[in-house]
């Protein structure tokens, strides 16, 4: 239950600070999202630029890039995910502790991008792990990554602590481990995790004419 903004301001004028546990908890979480320090391709260069003085991701509480999945809250998929790399990416995601979030950065990470019809590139990392924010671009500018980060902060802020929409780490029954694809003779096996990526409805697969 949120405090009404007008009432909050009015009370603030009187020197009374009112908040809810939910708000306080999410305020703390959204302002200390520590990304994992790993880059996959050219988008990583933009990600590095975002953390440097000119763009300064530290303003959003995300200055600490942790080199271990155990200490990270956010996975920025910065670049092309090849089919050879995908199992390692999923394994790293599995090793992260909840609460954890994923930003898929750039055309390759969200769909395969220019390499989509290649033999070695995954058609989007969202086929294996749940992605919270997708950023298009090739590569996205640092501003775009900051925008994605702010979008993620808004998402964290809006998460209720109870009910069906609560984050995974507060749901004991939530799926915590995602199956790591196995490299097989012709493709990764399985090629997609349907629980994470149900087939999106398109004109072609719903049988309607375009």
Partner 1 sequence: MKSTEQVLAELQSAFPGAGVTLLVNPSPSAQHSLLLAAADALPVAAYLRDQLGYDYCSNVTGVDWLDKETIEKVKTTRTVAKQVDGVELSVEETVEETVKRVEPGYLEAVYHLYSMKHGPSDPHPPLVLRMRTANRTDSVELPSLTPVWRSAEFQEREIFDLYGIVFKGHRDLRRLLMWDEFEDHPMRRDYVDPDDYEYEPTPHDEVLKRAELHSAQAPQEAAR
Question: Applying CB under 8 A, which residues contact partner 1?
Answer: 83-84, 117, 119-120, 123, 183-187, 191-192, 199-200, 202, 204-207
What values do phi and psi take at 82, rounded to 5? -75, 160
Q: How far is the CB of 199 from partner 1 (least distance, A)?
A: 6
* Least Å from the CB of residue 181 to partner 1: 11
CB of 184 to partner 1, least distance (A): 6
Q: Look up residue 33 and give its DSSP letter.
A: -
Of the pair 32, 120, the CB lying nearest partner 1 is at 120
The DSSP letter of residue 84 is T
Least distance from C-beta 182 to partner 1, angstroms? 8
How near is the Cβ of 116 to partner 1 at its closest, in Å?
8
Smaller CB distance to partner 1: residue 72 or 188? 188
Residue 22 in contact with residue 29, Cβ under 8 Å?
A: no
Contact 120, 81 (CB under 8 A): no
Task: End-to-end CA distance of the chain: give it in Å, rounded.
Answer: 45
- Nearer to partner 1 by Cβ, of 162 and 205: the residue is 205
Rounded-to-integer distance, Cα 169 and Cα 133, Å = 18
User: 5 or 207: whose CB is closer to partner 1?
Assistant: 207
Partners of residue 182 on adjacent β-strands? 189
How far is residue 108's CA from residue 33's CA, in Å, rounded to a whole number? Answer: 24
Minimum distance, C-beta of residue 83 to partner 1, in the bound complex (Å): 8
Closer of 15 and 207 to partner 1 (Cβ): 207
* Adjacent-strand bridge partners of 74: 35, 101
Q: Taking the mean position of all CA atoms in its chain, how far away is CA 104?
A: 6
- Residues 26, 2: contact at Cβ < 8 Å? no
Is 163 or 207 the residue whose CB approaches partner 1 more closely? 207
């Amino acid at each position: 239950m949120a405090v009404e903004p007008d009432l909050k301001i009015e009370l603030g004028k009187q020197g009374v600070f009112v908040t809810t546990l939910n708000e306080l908890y999410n305020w703390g979480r959204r302002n200390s999202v520590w990304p994992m320090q790993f880059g996959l391709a050219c988008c990583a260069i933009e990600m590095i630029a975002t953390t440097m003085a000119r763009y300064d991701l530290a303003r959003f509480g995300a200055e600490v890039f942790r080199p271990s999945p155990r200490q990270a809250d956010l996975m920025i998929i910065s670049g092309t995910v090849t089919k050879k790399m995908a199992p390692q990416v999923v394994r790293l995601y599995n090793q992260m502790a909840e609460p954890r979030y994923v930003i898929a950065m750039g055309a390759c990470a969200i769909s395969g991008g220019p390499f989509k019809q290649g033999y070695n590139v995954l058609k989007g990392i969202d086929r294996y792990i749940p992605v919270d924010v997708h950023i298009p671009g090739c590569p996205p500018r640092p501003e775009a990554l900051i925008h994605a980060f702010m979008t993620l902060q808004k998402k964290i802020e809006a998460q209720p602590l109870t009910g069906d929409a609560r984050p995974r780490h507060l749901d004991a029954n939530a799926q915590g481990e995602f199956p790591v694809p196995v490299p097989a003779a012709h493709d990764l096996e399985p090629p997609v995790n349907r629980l994470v990526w149900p087939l999106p409805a398109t004109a072609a697969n719903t049988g309607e004419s375009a």
